[in-house]
C-alpha cells in the first residue's frame, strides 16, 4: 500500500498523486486526514473524485497557492481558541439617561425635548394631604378633577378629601398646583354695622388646604404594594 506523503507537496501535486493512485487504502487514509466524507463502501473512482474536488478548493481559492499543501492538524482541539462569527448582529446603542425633572424647559431650544420635559414635570407625583375648606362641598368625600393642556393631554384624577387622604395621597404635580390656586367665594360678615344691621362682604379664599408630605420610604412602599395586591385579589374573588 503506497501512502501519499503530502508533507512537501503542493495542492496541485497532491491532485496528480491522487489521480495516479490505485490504492484504495491510501485514498481512504488521505480522505480521513482531510475529513472528506466517505464510507467503507465508497469505490476507488468515487473516492478519488471526492478528494480531488476537495483539493481543487485549495487551488482555486488562491492564485498563489503553489506552496506546500499542509495536512490538517488532527491533534488540535477543534474547540480550542474558537470564536463564533456573528453575522449582521444588531448593535444595541444605549442612550444616556436624561433627568427630565431637573431640566429647565425655558432654556431648551429643541422643541421635542422641551415638550418631554414639561410633560414629565407636570405629571410627576407628589404625596399630599387635602382638606376641602368650601362649606358648600362639606358633604363630599372627594371629587374627580380633570385638567388638560397641549403638553400632557387630558389628565383626570380622583381627589380625596379629609380622612381619605389622611395618610397621604399621590397626585400629579399639575393637579397639585391647580388645587393650591383654586379659590371660592366666601360671604363674610363685617363687624361694626350701623344700627345693628348686619353687613356682609364676599371674599375669594382658598378652596383647599394642601399639605405636602414626605415621599414614602422603601418599607412603606412595600406595605402599600402588598395592600394593593390584597385589594386586587379581593376584587377578583368577588
Give the model confidence (pLDDT) of 185-233 as tens digits: 988 887 766 666 777 888 899 999 999 999 888 888 788 778 777 766 5
Domain count, the chain: 2
To the nearest whole number, what is the mean pLDDT of the chain?
A: 78
| Cα 133-174-111 angle, rounded to 5 deg | 160
Average pLDDT (145-154) is: 91
Could you give the CA distance from residue 30 to residue 142 in angstroms, rounded to a whole number? 90
Give me the pLDDT at residue 154, please. Answer: 92
Q: Do residues 131 and 211 share a domain?
A: yes
Q: Do residues 128 and 50 share a domain?
A: no
Average pLDDT (76-86) is: 48
Q: Do residues 132 and 47 share a domain?
A: no
Give me the pLDDT at residue 78, please. Answer: 47
| pLDDT above 50 for 169 | yes
Q: Is residue 56 assigned to a domain?
A: yes
Q: Do residues 121 and 57 share a domain?
A: no
Q: Is residue 150 assigned to a domain?
A: yes
Q: Is residue 181 assigned to a domain?
A: yes
Q: Is residue 102 assigned to a domain?
A: no
Q: Is residue 82 assigned to a domain?
A: no
pLDDT-based confidence at 62, cuts 50/70/90? very low
Give me the pLDDT at residue 232, please. Answer: 63
Pairing, β 125-132 against β 199-206: unpaired
Q: Give the lowest-confidence range in 69-73, 141-145, 215-219.
A: 69-73
Yes or no: say if 48 and 108 are a contact pair by the CB < 8 Å rule.
Answer: no
Cell of 57: 478548493
Q: Do residues 121 and 204 share a domain?
A: yes
Q: Do residues 54 and 117 share a domain?
A: no
Give me the pLDDT at residue 43, please. Answer: 85
Q: Which domain holds residue 29?
A: 11-61
Q: Do residues 138 and 53 share a domain?
A: no
Q: What SS3 state is found at 15?
A: helix
Could you give the CA distance from residue 159 to residue 165 in angstroms, rounded to a whole number? 9
pLDDT-based confidence at 74, cuts 50/70/90? very low
| pLDDT above 70 for 84 | no
Percent helix / strand / coil, the chain, rounded to 5: 40, 20, 40
Q: Do residues 47 and 117 share a domain?
A: no
Q: Do residues 54 and 115 share a domain?
A: no
Q: Do residues 132 and 207 share a domain?
A: yes
What does DSSP assign to residue 10? B
Q: Do residues 115 and 206 share a domain?
A: yes
Give me the pLDDT at residue 61, please. Answer: 46
Q: Is residue 92 assigned to a domain?
A: no
Give me the pLDDT at residue 38, please. Answer: 79
Which of 38-47, 219-228, 229-238 is modeled with the greatest confidence?
38-47
Give me the pLDDT at residue 59, please. Answer: 57
Could you give the CA distance from residue 14 to residue 36 in angstroms, rounded to a whole number? 15
Burial of 165: CB neighbours in 10 Å, binned 0-12, 13-18, 19+: buried
| pLDDT above 60 for 70 | no
Q: Do residues 121 and 49 share a domain?
A: no
Pairing, β 169-172 against β 153-160: unpaired
Q: Is residue 78 assigned to a domain?
A: no
Of 65, 56, 69, 53, which Cα lies nearest the Cα of 9? 69
pLDDT-based confidence at 113, cuts 50/70/90? very high
Q: Give the lowest-confidence range in 32-41, 57-66, 96-105.
A: 57-66
Which of 25-34, 54-63, 90-99, 120-129 is modeled with the greatest confidence?
120-129
Q: Is residue 238 assigned to a domain?
A: no
Amino acid at each position: 500500500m503506497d501512502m501519499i506523503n503530502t508533507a512537501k507537496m503542493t495542492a496541485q501535486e497532491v491532485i496528480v498523486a491522487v489521480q495516479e493512485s490505485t490504492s484504495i487504502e491510501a485514498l481512504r487514509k488521505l480522505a480521513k486526514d482531510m475529513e472528506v466524507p466517505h464510507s467503507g463502501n465508497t469505490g476507488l473512482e468515487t473516492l478519488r473524485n471526492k478528494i480531488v474536488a476537495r483539493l481543487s478548493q485549495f487551488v482555486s481559492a488562491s492564485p498563489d497557492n503553489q506552496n506546500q499543501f499542509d495536512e490538517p492538524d488532527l491533534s488540535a482541539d477543534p474547540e480550542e481558541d474558537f470564536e463564533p462569527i456573528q453575522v449582521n448582529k444588531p448593535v444595541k446603542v444605549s442612550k444616556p439617561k436624561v433627568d427630565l425633572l431637573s431640566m429647565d424647559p425655558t432654556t431648551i431650544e429643541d422643541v421635542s425635548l422641551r415638550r418631554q420635559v414639561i410633560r414629565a414635570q407636570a405629571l410627576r407625583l407628589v404625596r399630599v394631604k387635602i382638606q376641602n375648606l368650601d362649606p358648600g362641598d362639606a358633604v363630599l368625600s372627594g371629587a374627580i378633577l380633570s385638567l388638560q393642556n397641549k403638553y400632557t393631554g387630558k389628565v383626570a384624577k380622583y381627589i380625596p378629601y379629609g380622612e381619605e387622604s389622611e395618610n397621604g395621597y399621590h397626585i400629579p404635580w399639575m393637579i397639585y398646583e391647580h388645587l393650591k390656586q383654586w379659590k371660592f367665594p366666601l360671604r363674610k360678615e363685617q363687624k361694626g354695622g350701623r344700627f345693628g344691621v348686619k353687613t356682609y362682604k364676599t371674599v375669594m379664599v382658598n378652596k383647599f388646604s394642601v399639605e405636602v408630605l414626605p415621599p414614602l420610604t422603601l418599607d412603606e412602599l412595600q406595605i402599600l404594594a402588598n395592600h394593593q395586591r390584597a385589594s386586587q385579589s379581593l376584587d377578583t374573588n368577588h
